[in-house]
Structure 1
Amino acid sequence: VALEAERGREMLGVAPLIVERNAPLRGTLVAERDGSLAARFTPGDSLDNRHLILMRPLEDRARPDAAVGWMPPRRSPNAWIDIAAAGVALAAAGVAIHYKFRADDVDDRYRQLGSLERGDPVLKAEAERLDTYSLAALGVMQVGVGVLAVRFILR
């Protein structure tokens, strides 16, 4: 596969080919194979372009050029479920960590030797409440991770 542009011809590689550039390709892409007609096509304008090229043998003169078609990027119609499950899992993990750190700080104040707050039942209840919030968020995170695991296994 080569790129023909104003500055000349640049060999990009052999198929299957992935070309990563910072900007869309400019010029004409040419796909050539021994025993087949050359395929010429213009690359897309976006940064993520996929093309399917069906090379026709030289004996098949039904069409003057190879068939070239643009293929949109493959994305599962239910990819939003994966994205949502991952987002929920990450957010819940952050919430669980936040509440666990707060619960640990309150518990440290409850247990600190020589402190006026040592043994205060209000602090103990507060630490238990924050631990419960952390546990609930951890459960939500596990559900999100479980949904992702099941979806990946079923693929």
Structure 2
Amino acid sequence: MKRKKVSKAGRGWYTGWLLHVHRVLWGALMVTVVTHAPARAQGEDRRDGPAYVHIDTNFPEALVFADSLLVGGASAMLLAVPAASRSIRLTAPNPDAWSIAPIARPLDVAPGDTARVVMRFPYHYRIESEPFGADVLIQHLDQGRSIGVTPLLYRSEDPLEGSILVRRIGYISQSIQPGKAVWNRHVVHLEPISELDTATQMNLNPPRPHRAWIDYAALGTALAAGAFAVHYKFKADDLADEYERTRDEALTPRIETHDFRAAVAFGVMQGGVAVFALRLVLR
């Protein structure tokens, strides 16, 4: 069988067609590589990238630590943290506020994701006075409640309402506003009451006059009543002895009368002694 010969023109057309197909396939391959390579790289970056945390706290000045790594302040909207972090810890930024204990929360967030962590501190009130040893009271709605003696550190889950009264005997009391921050420190200088103020207070509350005649009357009544009690008791005893000898029933009413009078006199004597003793205590 004879093979059909192809002309030069046909061979040229055939070669051109093969080159065109080769170019199309190569272009499609390049498009596929270019299209999928960034996506793969982006996915790898996401798996290896940081996570993000938003801190919801009442202490925006606090410092934020992811495990032991300082990542910024709590006032930031978002904080980047290593995805392997297992806890978030907030601490006070001011060394003077050493009484504020750090708080921590567990953390579990995937790379590229954002977690919201709520971390609320108790409210701290540091009250100092010069001189120290002053009573500290919280006054709210016309009521006072003692919370301790200066120097004092008081913690509350909510901000204190009303006012804080600092008072000490011999000094002028002072009232201060507690504050709404997490850390509130107050140093109160108490002024001593002057001699003039002391004299004024004494004049406003003069001592009550002592009525001595009441003491004498109470004491005299007690002595007289005691004497009558003894007298009537002796008479009742004498009549009782006579009754034992004579068995005279007519003596019985007289014995009972003298016993009654002795009992009444004894009661009056006790009342006089009680009045005299009470006035001695209240003097």
Judging by fraction of residues, say which structure has more strand: 2
In the superposition, the TM-score normalised over structure 2's length comes to: 0.26
In the superposition, the TM-score normalised over structure 1's length comes to: 0.46
Instruction: Kindly indicate whether structure 1 or structure 2 has the higher relative contact order, using CA contacts under 8 Å at least 6 residues apart.
Output: 1
Q: Choose 1 or 2 for highest CA Rg.
A: 2
